[in-house]
A and B are shown apart, each in its own frame.
Chain A
Amino acid sequence: MAIVSMNEKVIVAENLTKKFGDFTAVDHISFGVHKGEIFGFLGANGAGKTTAMRMLSGLSMPTSGNAMVAGFDVYRENEKIKRNIGYMSQKFSLYEDLTVRENIRFYAGIYGMSSHFIKEKMGQVLGELHLTAEGDKLVKSLPLGWKQKLAFSVAIFHEPRIVFLDEPTGGVDPVTRREFWHMIYEAAASGITVFVTTHYMDEAEYCDRVSIMVDGRIDALDTPQQLKKTYAAESMDEVFLKLARKATRAAD
């Protein structure tokens, strides 16, 4: 388990709300995420997970409420937030027609890393991924599992304080998912806070704390053990089903 520093909060949301016209996608959510924590963000499709994450990562302006990410305000210090976070989207986000090294160099270049840093860290990252021999191959020639792991390495290459993962393990086989979670633990152990959305309830068990969103609100927030106790459930799956049954909003 990662060492979580309970007294330092890197994400604080207070009554964070996003409205699209009459539709309230995210409805007054409040929570805090500690440094080095793996924070699971669960919810059915259309519950508002992605919208909440987009507000925290600076892609979308909140309608009301407050939020601080890495110590910066989401309204005014958007650019500073962007420098301190990494992001891995639901869609596979590397360039298929670029080689492994070119992808790393490009994304590191965006974050303004020096070529010396890039060179050194690239050797290390490729070694950890066992991709040193494949460094000059086009990404499209890699199997999906490797691509996904590479995408995660690229997202934390610039050593951000927080990394946002939006359903990172979609369509990946169970073995690769385990390996992927191993990488997440390592990142958390090195002090990176991991904010992850997922559909897989077994993955929810791996998180330090889990929040469950229903109809744009956070209905439950605690450690997996505590949640199971509170809802008298055997597994996170059961917890989720008990909460999700109350949902009135149709999944999209």
Chain B
Amino acid sequence: MKQFFAFVKKEFYHIFRDRRTMIILLAMPVVQIIIFGFALTNEVKNSKIAIWDQSKDAATASLINQLEASRYFEVEQSIHTAKEIESIFQKGEIKLAMILPQHFDEDLRHFNKAQVQLIADASDPNVANTLTNYASAIIMDYQNRITHEKKLPYTITTEMRMLYNPELKGAYNFVPGVMAMVLLLVCTMMTAITIVREKETGTMEVMLVSPANPLRIVIAKAVPYFLLSMVNITTILLLSVFVLDVPVNGSLVLLVGESLLFTLVSLSLGLLISTKAGSQQTALFISLVGLLLPTVMLSGFMFPIENMPLPLRTVSNIVPARWYYSIVKSVMIKGIGLNAVWKETLILSGMLIFFLGLAIKNFKIRLA
């Protein structure tokens, strides 16, 4: 046991003395949360909209008012010809135009039917989609209000509720993604690199000649990164609760427990890489291209897995982060318990056993 602590202590010296790496390790989650939370957001806030109001009556005024009252839109400009739409889109600042035809109020009252046209700049399809959705929702809202006032006999009203995330915040999506990414980087990449570094410098050979149990050497190398990931998980959760207002709806114990499980999976992947890679560069390359890239692309964090073609969907099954991401979303955002995520938990446990077993097997072969 004393021997084991000697190893762990030495490992901490390495980390603390390499100040640059340590700052990167501890600052990474903070920076990622800030970047995703405040810079890379696809939410709509005070988006500028142009309006061509051809009827200028009480109904259109009321609709425009409602649009302005929402915090999503800002009426920037009134336009008077169809040509103007294109010229303002080309300037690029305004991405949505609403056209209210003549006799809007009369049509609404006499025929119970009026038309609104939304024209969006779809050069960025995601933004166009989001903007038109928001605008339609506001128009629908307006319609509900007036039909309610008039008490028409037969109307079907659609009521939409955004469960778990009523404000459609992007943070609900990326906080779990950032957790998966940070854990993977800290555990897999750093563990792989430090073990390979000892192989490169020759110190690993000296330790293998010593009576120290090789398995214990490797476990001791993983312990500091395990502790460091705990610090990072705490940072991310605190930031998301207090800065981004993303609550932990489910059991915190379950969330932390699942995170520990994923950390162990990442560590065993790091060990596996270290048994295969001959140089620190190779270890870095495998970690980044072989793990980080699939994590970002195929875990469902950037692109929904349901929309992927079958081959990619199949591949996504072997990406551990996919299952962890799904667990965090369920536990943290939806607030559901183990009975709903047992399948994912089982898959991660299976991966842990598989990767760890493979890593240990390779490690022994190398010794013989």
A positions within 8 Å CB-CB of B: 57-61, 79, 82-83, 85, 87-95, 97-98, 102, 105-107, 109-112, 138, 164
Query: How many interface residues does B have (CB within 8 Å)?
Result: 23
Q: Out of A60, A79, A105, which one reaches B6, CB within 8 Å?
A: A105
B3 touches A89 (CB 8 A): no
- Candidate in B3, B7, B203 with the most chain A CB atoms within 10 angstroms: B203
* Residues in A neighbouring B2, C-beta threshold 8 A: 109, 112
Complex interface: chain A residues within 8 A of B206 (CB): 87-89, 93, 107
Known pairs A87-B206, A95-B203. 20 more at Cβ < 8 A? A58-B209, A59-B205, A61-B368, A79-B211, A82-B210, A83-B211, A85-B209, A88-B206, A89-B205, A92-B201, A93-B201, A93-B205, A97-B13, A97-B14, A97-B18, A105-B6, A106-B9, A109-B6, A111-B210, A164-B209
Closest A residue to B10 by CB, please name it.
Answer: A106
The B203-260 residues at the A interface (CB cut-off 8 A) are 203, 205-212
Contact A57 B210 (CB under 8 A): no
| Cα distance, A200 to B83, chains bound together (Å) | 88
Closest chain-B Cβ to A190's Cβ sits at a distance in Å of 21
Tell me what chain B mostly uses at the interface: helix, strand, loop, or mixed: helix
Contact B203 A110 (CB under 8 A): no
Asked whether any CB of chain A lies closer than 8 Å to the CB of B367, the reply is: yes
A98 touches B10 (CB 8 A): yes
Contact residue among A90, A97, A110 (Cβ-Cβ distance under 8 Å from B207)? A110
The contact string, 1 if C-beta is below 8 Å from chain A, for chain B 355-368, is 00000000000011
A-B contact pairs, 13 of them (CB 8 A): A59-B205, A79-B211, A82-B210, A82-B211, A85-B209, A87-B206, A93-B205, A94-B203, A110-B7, A110-B207, A110-B212, A111-B211, A112-B211
Residues of B within 8 A of A138 (CB): 17
Tell me the minimal C-beta distance from A162 to chain B in angstroms: 11
Complex contacts, A97 vs chain B, CB 8 Å: 13-14, 17-18
Please give the distance in Å from A44's CB to the nearest CB on chain B: 22
A50 to chain B, nearest CB (A): 11
Closest to B17 in A: A97
The CA of A60 and the CA of B208, in the complex, are separated in Å by 10
Q: Which residues of A contact B92 (CB under 8 A)?
A: none
Chain B, 1-47, CB within 8 A of any chain A CB? 2-3, 6-7, 9-10, 13-14, 17-18
- B202 contacts partner chain A, Cβ-Cβ < 8 Å: yes
B209 touches A109 (CB 8 A): no
How long is the Cα–Cα vector from A111 to B207 in the complex, in angstroms? 10
Q: How far is the CA of A89 from the CA of B209 in the complex (A)?
A: 10
Which residues on B sit within 8 Å (CB–CB) of A58?
209
B221 CB, min distance to chain A CBs, angstroms: 13
Query: What separation, in Å, do the CA atoms of A89 and B201 have in the docked complex?
Result: 10
Contact: B3 with A110, CB < 8 Å? Answer: yes
Q: How far is the CA of A59 from the CA of B201 in the complex (A)?
A: 17
Q: Which residue of A lies closest to B4 (CB)?
A: A109
Chain A residues within 8 Å of B202, by CB:
89-93
Cross-chain contact of A110 among B6, B13, B205, B368 (Cβ < 8 A): B6
Given A61-B368, A97-B17, A102-B13, are A87 and B3 also a contact pair (CB < 8 Å)?
no
A98: which B residues are within 8 A, CB to CB? 10, 13-14, 17
Contact residues in A for B7 (Cβ distance below 8 Å):
106, 110
Which residue of chain B has its CB nearest to the CB of A90?
B202
Does the CB pair B3–A93 fall under 8 Å? no
State A107–B202 Cα separation when bound (angstroms).
14
Contact at B10–A59, with CB atoms within 8 Å? no
- A56 to chain B minimum Cβ distance, whole angstroms, is 10
CB neighbours of A82 from chain B (8 A): 209-211
> Inside 8 A of B367's CB, which chain A residues have their CB?
59
Query: Is there an interface contact between A110 and B208, defined as CB atoms closer than 8 Å?
Result: no
Bound state CA distance, A59 and B202, in angstroms?
A: 13
Query: Would you give the 0/1 interface string for B331-368, flagging 1 where the beta carbon is closer than 8 Å to chain A?
Result: 00000000000000000000000000000000000011
Q: Which residue of chain A is the closest to B217 with respect to CB atoms?
A: A110
Q: Which of A57, A102, A106, A164 has the most CB of B within 10 A?
A: A106
| B3 adjacent to A109 (CB under 8 Å) | yes
Q: How far is the CA of A90 from the CA of B209 in the complex (A)?
A: 14
Chain B residue at minimum C-beta to C-beta distance from A58: B209
